[in-house]
Amino acid sequence: MRIIVITGMSGSGKSTAVRALEDEGYYCIDNLPIRLFKRFVDLIVKSDESFKGIVLVADIRGREFFKGYESAFHKITELGHTVEIYFFDALDDVLLRRFSETRRRHPVDDTCTVAEGIRIERDRLGGLRQMATRIIDTSEFTVHQLKDFILRIIRGEEKENQLVIEVQSFGFKYGVPLESSIVMDVRFLPNPFFVPELKGSSGLDDAVRDYVLDNVVTAQFIDYFFPLLDMLLPAHRQEGKSYLTISIGCTGGRHRSVAIAEATGMHLQELWPSVRIIHRDIEKGHI
């Protein structure tokens, strides 16, 4: 039986990972007392239910967990099971931002600040982090990127130095996507918004796409932009990045950025095995 222990810092994405694993057919249980780990595994193995594996979530909330996790893991492996420990982490400033967005208190202690809680938690989890089979830094992941990443690991689809690329269009009037690795401003291109017969369409429509891409300025831009990406992406992969988000923006995120994002995605799909194209604000810019 494959047994995965999900642990790590509060706010690092453990809940997202668990939901993905539940959907994949794993039996997931959160915050189970450490003394029940072996007994629970025995019950699941002997049951008539068919699961791909078991996911045990253990973190700072289970105070007794830190007193016996090594012994508990050892007893499970003695039974012939494989125990994988996934330690989820993120930069301190990212964790602070996530707690601020959710307005949650840090679970380590109701009386301390979030910053103090992060420091205490990181100290207490130090030994477990060293034992981890895999450390997953979620600092630059969006929720769906993290879910995709976990599923690729579980399914055995992850390859060393594989780079998953997301090309997204957006409108500057709605803000620059925070997850962006590369941002390109295409507001200098001719704007179909000011062409009456194109205003109500989007960059997914042939007429708008042709208007944007058949322009001399656009052709000159692409002649520089695509070779730049062809140079940058292998460098990012070499640095160990698993995900890279290329955000292409125009004013409203409906015309120019959509057309360029589609062209960029199609170019990259010829060179890279995993490229996803999304249009964040295409409906917001609809009039």
The string of pLDDT tens digits covering residues 238-264 is 776 778 899 999 999 999 999 999 999
Contact 4, 132 (CB under 8 A): no
The sheet carrying 134-137 orders its strands as 26-30, 53-57, 2-8, 82-89, 134-137
The backbone torsions φ and ψ at residue 72, rounded to the nearest 5 degrees and listed phi first, read -65, -45
Give the sign of the dihedral formed by CA 143, CA 257, CA 213, CA 188. negative
Reply yes or no on whether the pLDDT at 60 is more than 90: no
What is the C-alpha to C-alpha distance for residues 166 and 55, in angstroms, rounded to an integer?
29
Closest listed residue to residue 149, CA positions, set 11, 279, 278, 20: 20
Q: Which residue has the higher pLDDT, 167 or 37?
A: 167
Token pair recorded at residue 127:
């030994």
- Give the DSSP letter string of 266-287: HHHHTT-S-EEEEETTTTTT--
**pLDDT recorded at residue 88:** 94
Give residue 159's pLDDT band: very low, low, confident or very high (50, 70, 90): low
Average pLDDT over residues 273-284: 91
Token pair recorded at residue 215:
């322009």
Average pLDDT over residues 145-149: 85
What is the C-alpha to C-alpha distance for residues 153 and 171, in angstroms, rounded to an integer?
33
- What the chain holds in terms of domains, given with CATH numbers, is 2-154 (3.40.50.300), 164-279 (no CATH)
Range in 2-6, 58-62, 250-254, 280-284 the model is least confident about: 58-62
Long-range contacts of 223-231 (CB under 8 A, 24+ apart): 225/184, 225/264, 226/264, 226/267, 229/182, 229/264, 229/267, 229/268, 230/271
pLDDT in tens, 64-112: 666 677 788 888 888 888 889 999 999 999 999 888 887 778 888 778 8
Range in 49-53, 115-119, 145-149, 172-176 the model is least confident about: 49-53
Question: How far from 69 is each of 65, 79, 129, CA to CA, in Å?
Answer: 6, 16, 12
**pLDDT recorded at residue 58:** 84
